Structure formats: structure tokens, C-alpha cells
Structure 1
């Protein structure tokens, strides 16, 4: 009430204060307010206007203003501000002639062909891509008259295309009844789809626009790529078509945000004056979003300038043409190479199922395809290591001086000796065996010799994210005796179908820690990959107590596979630990003997050892 009263009263006051040269009756404002109240498409925004009109109608003051155009401008500002709708306008047009929607005259066939060819433009682009531009969306009545001709001239040429670009960048007019026809050609005949609801204020009726079960000619279908081009000049019914197909997930919108017009605008004469009120008299409410494109416009899926929209759309369609081969190629690689054969087969089938359901029909770029494929692979497999990846080339080894190697090793390993001669060793990644072997003597001198003569040791792997497993056997060997060779684990390689035994090494650089002294390994949810393999072995063989959190449940180091010549690469774990002795740690993680928060793990381990040594004294 207060808001609408402000509209009427404030405009009266503006007239009294600022304009002193001409006069208009206060009833003009009341008549304008009544037109808005009776015809505006969102009556819920007009609560209290009737009372405001009644109050204003009793005001007999005369508005003094310089001219009619100025008054119209002031009234427009007041109405738009009060209702918060820029589509509401007041104009002064003494020579206005109401626009009558043109009717299709009975033209001879050759003239009708010329009319259609001037308003509808069709090109078949390279790659069998159709490009259809329509600047006015025909209504049901006109479409019925020209339908057979449209089929011959346009639609029959579009049907064989592999993809369609629907150009609405210049479409500023159209008939509401044409919306379900256009949408229906890009959907299936059944089930019937609720496309939109149009509320008409003057008649206080709502019309549900439904897809058509029968159409003239064949449907384009629900699977071939459809891209709609938009611009800031795309308006009205064209916006409804774009918004409906976007939310049905049937089309990708490329271009600029649309005008934010109205599904129906009427210009209504104010009494016997030459003033007119432009009012949106109907509104669209989408059944999927519960909202509308009106005022705000349709936001594109890919926002580019109108000039760049066509080229962008062509690139998207070219990507879509590659998608089936990429997904099917990925499925084959996973089925043939994933470490666990049954999981690989299941993931491959489900991935192809997602493709068949159209889950990849809306990818807009290579990066978005990679992101979706990666997310789907992780979800389907439960394996964080099965994903898309970059094909980063391996850098050649650097020429590093012995002095620099020493400094690198010092910062890569953390050592300490705590109370009761408890050794502490932390490192955050496992290196390749050949690389480690080359600097083994340096590691022994500057790292291992600090902790090897302790009475117990804590190995901190809470921040160890994995790395190569080639050095695992050698590192494990330091914690067993040299007099017997122990099988640490059996690794099954899926692509080759072979099993390799990891065994302790008979010869090591430096002194062994041996099998008698106590060992605690600290873990966290970040402990992954090669670090988990080490923890798994030491726990399985009863050589260490594990303190901390369940590990990440990652995988053996994955391999990179190229999906054909597409430029897409997959990271696929191909090896798993021996499952004959129990469930695999891959994908599940390794539970600690003593579960504690990662932050508390070190103090817990020190407490265990200190209590042990205190009991021996």
C-alpha cells in the first residue's frame, strides 16, 4: 500500500513543484494507474494500488508542466521505479497508429516463396552443420498456411544435417503459439512435455504450452547437437524458445545475454488523451525453474560477443562430434588395463551408458569434457587415481653437483633423535629406485646414519603422497635381516597379465636396522600410493605398529594412456597388490593399529615408546 501510494502521490507533488507553464487534470495519473492495475502481468506487485488510486482520485489540483513529453517521461520514471519493471512506459504520441499484426495474404506460390526466403535464411556449413536464422517466429495460424512450403524450402534440407545452429541473434518478434511448435521439433513425440505456462492478466487465464505429439514433417530429434545463438537484441518469444530448450537440456545457448523482454506487450491508450501506457500484460513461468527470463534475460551457457557466437558454436559442434569416440575409447582403455578387471569392465559399461543417455551432450569445451570425464571415472570406480590427466613430458635429469645433492637430501628428509634414543625419520615422497640408488651413499651418510643406531624408530608418512614403488623393496629391506630373503608382496600387472614378487634385497648400502628393534609408522588421510604400499607390507608382515589415521586408499602409481589421437589422456592404475592374503588396500586405505588424529600421532607414538623404555628400567 505504501509503495503504490507513493507512486500516485509523489507524481502529483512533482507536478506541483517543478512545472508551472501548462496544465493537465489529476485524473490522467489516476487513469494511468488504473491501466497498470488492471493489465500488469504480476498483480502481486500491485498490492494496495486500488486504495492509492481512490486517494488520488479525490485530489482536484491541477498539474502544471511545461509539455506533454516531459510529463510522460516523469510518469514513466515513477511507474518503473514503483513497480521495479523497466518495461512499463508512459508515452505521449498524438500521431500514434495502433499496430495491427499482419495477416498472411493469399499470395501466389512464387510470391510466398520470396517472402519466406527473405525472412528465413538457411546455410549448410562444412561438416554437415545446418545454420538456420529466423528473425520472426511464426504463430500457429501462419505456420499452418505455409507449413508444406516450409518443409520443402527449409526443413527437408535441415533434417539430414548432423547438427543445427539456430540463430536467434536478430529475432525481436514472434507469436506465442509458435513456441510449442519449435520446441516439439527438437524433442520426442512422447511423453508430452510441459514447455511453459503463460499467464494473461486481462483475461486472468493461464495457458500451459505443451509439446505436440504430431507434427508436419519429421522431428529433428532429441539427440543431435542443437546450439542457439543469442544477442542483446534477442527479445520476447525468441527468449522463451531459448530459455525453454536450455532448461529442457536440449540446447546449448551461445552468445550474449538476451534483452529481457516480455512474452506479450500491449500499448493502451489513456482515456481520450494522446498518452499511452506500454504494459507487459502476460508473463512466462517456466515449469522447470519456476522462474522466468523476462526482465533479467536468458544467460548463455557460453557467453561471447554476438559476432563471435557462430564461430564458437561451430567449435562446440566439432567437439561434440569427437565425444563418442573419446568416451568409447576411454571405456576400452579402462576395460583392458585397469588393475582390477571386474571394476574396469563395470566402469567401462557404465561410462558407455552415460554416453547413451546424453550425459555428454552438453559439454562446451575440451576442458569441460576432461573435467566431466574425470569426475565420472572417479565416481564410477571409487578410485581417485582413475581420471583424465595432462601428458606432461618427462624432463631430462638435471646435472646436479654433489654439494647440491647433499642440500636437496637434507631438505627432503627430516631426522631427529628423541628421548630414550628414539629415532625419527620423515620424508614426503618415494623416489625412483635408479635415482635413489645413484645417491644412496649420500642418503646413508647424511640421513640414515643419524637414526640407524637408535633403539626404536618412528617413520613419519603423514604427509607422504606416494611416488614410485620401485624403491619400496629396498627401503623395506633395511628393517629385516640379511640372512633370509622375504617375499614382501606380489604385484599383479593387468596389461601384461603377469605377477611380480617384491623381495628383500640381500645387499644394501649402509647398515640395516634389522628385524628386532621396534618400529612405529605414522599415517594420515593424506598418506597415499607408494607410501601405502610400504605401510601395507610392514603391517601385513607384523614388522611395524601403525599409528594415526586410515590412509587415502589411492593406488599403485598409475600409467598414462592416450585416447587415440584426440589429445585426451587418462591416468589408469594398472597394478594391484596380492589379494590372495586379504583385501587390497587400493581404494580402501589401511587402517592403523592405534587410530588417533594425524596431529596427535607423533606424541602418541613417543608416549608408547617412552612407556616401553621406562618399563625396562
Structure 2
């Protein structure tokens, strides 16, 4: 474990403050955080014994102003590559290779109801298009579909649009990202064509949510919910709506900083802070059984 005998906290804080000032989507909050972090450094709050503890303390302070859960100083046990975002990409690739490309479970339940689990992430689309297409095409013949996001911690907005495209019949506006400064925005739409077969826009869809569901997983649940396309079953999600990037600030520390904010075209807002609220609240552990029962009842009706 790296200790503060091999580094001092001041350079880490200075670089984190610089990145906040240059990149955080909310400049006024970045200004508040600059004062907070420098003040905490001056009073000795960051004079701790190891990098992991420093990451914990700084993350608490970063999230103390507006509760932004994407705003973090993240500790890595293994050394972090100096290239921006490389640590996150390396970890994602390992998870991708051990999760069948992000679709570790496809199952047919009683009543011809399919379950597709998407976990632990919605991986970058250039990696995930093939395995996700295979899983969703296999499920396309089911009478109803349950998408399990309870263990999904986020990922790529383009992959959100890709998955959504299998569940819609027409090209549909899903979300708009507004980048820092407000001068540039980027709309996300479902795709006019997908590889394989669509499940389509008329058969029942249920999305399972839990307290671990985060970021892009929340967007998928929220977009489908706002469109009236899916019923969300389970627990409220974590509440992180801001896309972020990562920068190496020390060999074992990565600053993740939101660079945009999401705005849903139906609600005019997003799930930041409060999370996605389920249509059918229940413990996450019971969500699959509950969704299965709801699907059976709807099909019987």
C-alpha cells in the first residue's frame, strides 16, 4: 500500500483542484470546492497514512457541496496508467472478459418470459455490440422481457441507446447531454436499425433496479420509464446522472470529474441525487419474482 511517506497530499489536491476548475460541469460548484479542499489541506485534514484514506476523505469533501456521486478521488491498488481514463478502461476490460461481454445471464422463465441480466456494466459499444445483440436477439421471441440492472454500475450512453433500440419500434429521442458552458449539447436517439431481431415496442418490458444500479444503468431505466415503455421494479437507484471522465493525479489515485449533465426530453430533468424511483417498489432481492408475477398477470389479462 502506498503511504504518504512516498508522496505529499498537496500536489494531489492542487492537481485535483486544477482539473475541477477546468472541467467540472458546474463551475460555481468547482469554485466552492477549490476553497474547501485548500482549506482542508491547510488545516491538516489530509495528513493521513495512506493513499486509500486520502481518497476517502477527499471524496467525502468533493461530494459534500452538491452530492454529486460521480465526483470522486478514486483509489487503485495497482498503479494507475498516466494516460487519462486508462485505469478505468483496464478495469472495464477485465470485467468485460469475465461477464460474457456484459450479458452474463439469459434465461427463459415460465410463461415464455425472458430475463436478460446486464452486468456489471454497459460496456463501450465497440466492445459490447456483439454480445448484447446476441442476448437481445435470443430474447426477442419471448412474450415479455425482464431486464435485470440490479448489479449494473453504469457505463456507456451509446450502449444505453443500443439496448433501447431493441425495445422500440421507431427512432426515439432518449436523452440530451449538456456539456460545460451550455454552448454545446448532444442528443441521444435510438437506432433506426439494429443487428439481429428486435423485441419490439409493444410486448411487456420490466426493468429490475436496486441501490447498486448507477449512472448509465439508471439512464436506461429512466429513459424507458419516462417513455412509458417499461415498468421499473425494485429499489430506488443510487442517483448519478452526470457523465464523467477520469484523470490520473498520483500513481494510485484517479480523479473522476463530471463534464456534462443529462436532461430527459419527457421529464425535462434527470435522476441525479434522488435516483430512479421504481413503479413497483420492493426489496431488490424480490424484484425478479415480482416482475415475473406482474408479467404473467398481464399476459393472462
Superposition TM-score, scaled by structure 2 size: 0.77
Cα distance in 2 for partners of 1:177, 1:120 equals 20
Matched, 1:286 2:268: no
Matched, 1:35 2:19: yes
Q: 1:157 to 1:62 in 2, by over 3 A?
A: closer
The 5 A counterparts of 1:106-505 are: 116=100, 119-135=103-119, 136-144=121-129, 146=130, 153-189=134-170, 192-201=171-180, 205-262=184-241, 264-270=243-249, 275-323=253-301
Matched, 1:65 2:43: no
Contact persistence 2:103–2:116 (CA under 8 A): no
Contact persistence 2:77–2:252 (CA under 8 A): yes
Contact persistence 1:38–1:202 (CA under 8 A): no
Contact persistence 1:232–1:259 (CA under 8 A): yes
Deviation, structure 1 residue 256: 1.1
Deviation, structure 1 residue 204: 7.2
Q: 1:139 to 1:45 in 2, by over 3 A?
A: same
Q: 1:269 to 1:302 in 2, by over 3 A?
A: same
Q: 1:305 to 1:174 in 2, by over 3 A?
A: same
Cα distance in 1 for partners of 2:102, 2:159 equals 19
Structure 1 residue aligned with 2:84? none
1:65 aligned counterpart, secondary structure:
coil
Cα distance in 2 for partners of 1:122, 1:47 equals 47
Q: 1:156 to 1:215 in 2, by over 3 A?
A: closer
Q: Which runs of 5+ in 1 are unaligned?
A: 1-20, 106-111, 324-617
Cα distance in 1 for partners of 2:54, 2:163 equals 42
Cα distance in 1 for partners of 2:89, 2:12 equals 29
1:38 aligned counterpart, secondary structure:
helix
Deviation, structure 1 residue 218: 3.1
Contact persistence 1:39–1:202 (CA under 8 A): no
1:292 aligned counterpart, secondary structure:
coil
Cα distance in 2 for partners of 1:321, 1:275 equals 51
Q: CA RMSD in A?
A: 3.9
Aligned residues: 284
Cα distance in 2 for partners of 1:302, 1:36 equals 38
1:123 aligned counterpart, secondary structure:
strand
Q: Deviations over 1:247-282 (max 9, x none)?
A: 000000001111223553433233x67654332333
Structure 2 residue aligned with 1:441? none
Contact persistence 1:46–1:83 (CA under 8 A): no
Matched, 1:101 2:89: yes
Cα distance in 2 for partners of 1:103, 1:62 equals 35
RCO greater where, 1 or 2, for CA within 8 Å and sep 6 or more? Answer: 2
Cα distance in 1 for partners of 2:13, 2:92 equals 39
Deviating beyond 6 angstroms after TM superposition, the runs of 4 or more aligned structure 1 residues are: none
2:240 aligned counterpart, secondary structure:
coil
Cα distance in 1 for partners of 2:102, 2:69 equals 33
Cα distance in 2 for partners of 1:27, 1:210 equals 42
Cα distance in 2 for partners of 1:104, 1:269 equals 16
Structure 2 residue aligned with 1:81? 64
Q: Deviations over 1:529-559 (max 9, x none)?
A: xxxxxxxxxxxxxxxxxxxxxxxxxxxxxxx
Cα distance in 2 for partners of 1:92, 1:211 equals 35
Deviation, structure 1 residue 130: 1.1
Cα distance in 2 for partners of 1:101, 1:29 equals 24
Deviation, structure 1 residue 165: 0.9
2:239 aligned counterpart, secondary structure:
coil
Q: Which runs of 5+ in 2 are unaligned?
A: 82-86
Superposition TM-score, scaled by structure 1 size: 0.40
Cα distance in 1 for partners of 2:101, 2:128 equals 15
Radius of gyration: which is bigger?
Answer: 1
Deviation, structure 1 residue 175: 1.9
1:243 aligned counterpart, secondary structure:
helix
